[in-house]
Chain A
């Protein structure tokens, strides 16, 4: 597959090494993961869950090394002393993996690997993942952008608004093209960037804002989000509104 990495993703290695950087890190983790599966310690699905939800998000934000600086090297050094000796170091490629390949269990294309892929359309699956990856990288770019960094020290509600807005601008084109579900996509963007979902009515507000933008009323759409956040903080806007009918009757009363 041709590489589409931008120049700033180029890495410098100071001496030649087999597997270069990404594969060395990846194989170190995978070798341990295969051992855990083979030894019956954890399932492939649970290992993936741990990677997706616990390891990867922090790695996305601060990599491997910087994250340890942030969480503190004292605890990390203690943990290394107790955990590293127990890791699986044998210098031998996983016999389990070699045997799977020999049996023809080569993954998605074969219909079976660690997971059962029977009935899956490999091409469609890859396109889906490719699109999701592009969206994720774009979102990470917005987190690194100057406006997002400048907002990092502001109160939560304001950062929330700015992040959601930056994200929305980045995805507005695709939202406009995909008119079938702009509201749900925008809603997801708010929820993921802002956790505004706790407010209960985020979905209603998000769909109304998206609708306003789509009908061309830009001045009333997502541009108002920072203002909403300010009103929420000031207590002038309830996130959990209650509606009551004060008076109801015929017009001629």
Chain B
């Protein structure tokens, strides 16, 4: 992914704007890491990824059709600190759920729902449950021809 960010910067330098899609990648860390690599070149960096597992039902649904598909945007702001957005398209990133489970803590209501759609607060039961949607999922996967959510 670091290589893709470099490539995007090179292309944008000549074309003004560039879009690079990757396939067969692995876990690459927080999305903002790569948006910030573009930011470091005084450019606007945008990063969209398809998560490796589908934990997310569509609105009103109960089938795990979508992944948490993170989004990051980094915008230079001159003399001010840059604006960096790094978010999952769920209420909480799945990594945060795992961290809660590791620490033996409970989740706030609204992070996940069980198979009947009821709020779930025990992160250890996460494998039998769904994350809650917070935003529209982008069509990142279809643009880069990578494996993506069955909804596409």
Contact = CB atoms under 8 A, between A and B. Distances in A.
Interface of A: 204, 208-209, 211-212, 215, 217-221, 224, 227-228, 231, 236-237, 243, 245-246, 250-251
B105 to A, nearest CB: 14
Nearest to B97: A219
Interface stretch (B24-32, B107-115, B123-131, B134-142): B24-32
Given A219-B93, A219-B95, A237 B26 contact: yes
A211 B33 contact: yes
Contact of B86 (A217, A221, A228): A217
Contacts of A246: 23
Interface in B82-116: 86, 93, 95-96, 98-99
Contact of B2 (A208, A245, A250): A208
Q: Which 8 A-B pairs have the closest CB atoms?
A: A219-B95, A217-B30, A220-B30, A220-B29, A212-B29, A237-B26, A212-B30, A208-B29
Nearest to A207: B2
B65 to A, nearest CB: 23
A215 B32 contact: yes
B99 A218 contact: yes
Given A204-B2, A218-B99, A243-B3, A227 B30 contact: no
Most buried by B among A209, A212, A231: A212
Given A215-B32, A227-B27, A243-B3, 7 more contacts: A208-B28, A208-B29, A209-B29, A215-B30, A219-B93, A219-B95, A219-B96
A231 B86 contact: no
A204 to B, nearest CB: 6
28 contacts: A208-B2, A208-B28, A209-B29, A211-B29, A215-B30, A215-B32, A215-B33, A215-B36, A217-B29, A217-B30, A217-B32, A218-B99, A219-B96, A219-B98, A219-B99, A220-B27, A220-B30, A221-B29, A224-B27, A224-B29, A228-B26, A228-B27, A231-B26, A231-B27, A236-B26, A243-B3, A246-B23, A250-B15
Contacts of B96: 219
A220 B30 CA distance: 6
Contacts of B30: 212, 215, 217, 219-220
A33 B34 CA distance: 55
Nearest to A232: B26
A224 B102 CA distance: 13
Contact of B33 (A212, A243, A245, A251): A212
A231 to B, nearest CB: 6
Contacts of B15: 250
Contacts of B17: 251
